[in-house]
């Protein structure tokens, strides 16, 4: 019996997050920021809200140029309903297709439902020379919630 693959984890520093967000901004999805902390002119900036506000692809490109410390991004098919997602089960029972969690200025967890998107992201992470790329499985997943 094969393990169910939940997503990808890795270490991604420098401009890798920028490249990842730029890649995602070209996809036909709705994007919702659940949480974000960034540094701007050495001041900590928090989002307008820490609870799911929509961000448009051009805004995602702009955010990609910022120095991000932490980010939780939920990605939905265009026009679908967004739901509260706290756990992996919530994610699986929602219409959300991808949950990206970037934390500690370099650690990245990506949960996906679609294997084709996961494969694209995996290849992108390889090309960005991400470190310690591992698949997240039911057995290896240490997260109890999909948030920070």
Q: Detail the DSSP E strand segments found in 12-103.
A: 29-40, 43-45, 53-55, 67-77, 98-103
Q: Residue 105 has what pLDDT?
A: 78
Helix pair 16-25, 115-127: axis angle to 10 deg:
140
Tell me the range of 33-42, 52-61, 68-77, 87-96 where mean pLDDT is highest: 87-96
Contact 60, 75 (CB under 8 A): no
- Going by C-alpha positions, the residue among 62, 11, 9, 74 that lies closest to residue 38 is 62
Give the model's confidence band at 50: pLDDT under 50 very low, under 70 low, under 90 confident, else very high: very low
**Distance of alpha carbon 87 from the chain centroid:** 14
Q: What is the mean pLDDT of the chain?
A: 84
Tell me the range of 34-38, 80-84, 92-96, 144-148 where mean pLDDT is highest: 92-96
Whole-structure pTM value = 0.87
Can you tell me which residue has the tokens 């902390």? 37
Residue 132 Rama label (left phi>0; alpha psi -120 to 50; beta):
left
């Amino acid at each position: 019996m094969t393990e169910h693959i939940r997503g990808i984890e890795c270490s991604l520093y420098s401009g890798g997050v920028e490249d990842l967000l730029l890649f995602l901004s070209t996809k036909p999805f709705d994007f919702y920021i659940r949480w974000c902390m960034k540094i701007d002119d050495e001041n900590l900036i928090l989002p307008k809200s820490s609870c799911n506000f929509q961000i448009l692809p051009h805004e995602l490109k702009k955010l990609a140029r910022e120095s991000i410390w932490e980010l939780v991004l939920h990605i939905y098919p265009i026009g679908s309903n967004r739901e509260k997602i706290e756990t992996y089960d919530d994610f699986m029972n929602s219409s959300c297709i991808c949950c990206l969690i970037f934390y500690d200025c370099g650690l990245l967890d990506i949960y996906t439902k679609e294997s084709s998107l996961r494969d694209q992201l995996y290849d992108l992470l390889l090309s960005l020379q991400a470190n310690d790329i591992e698949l997240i499985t039911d057995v290896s997943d240490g997260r109890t919630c999909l948030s920070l």
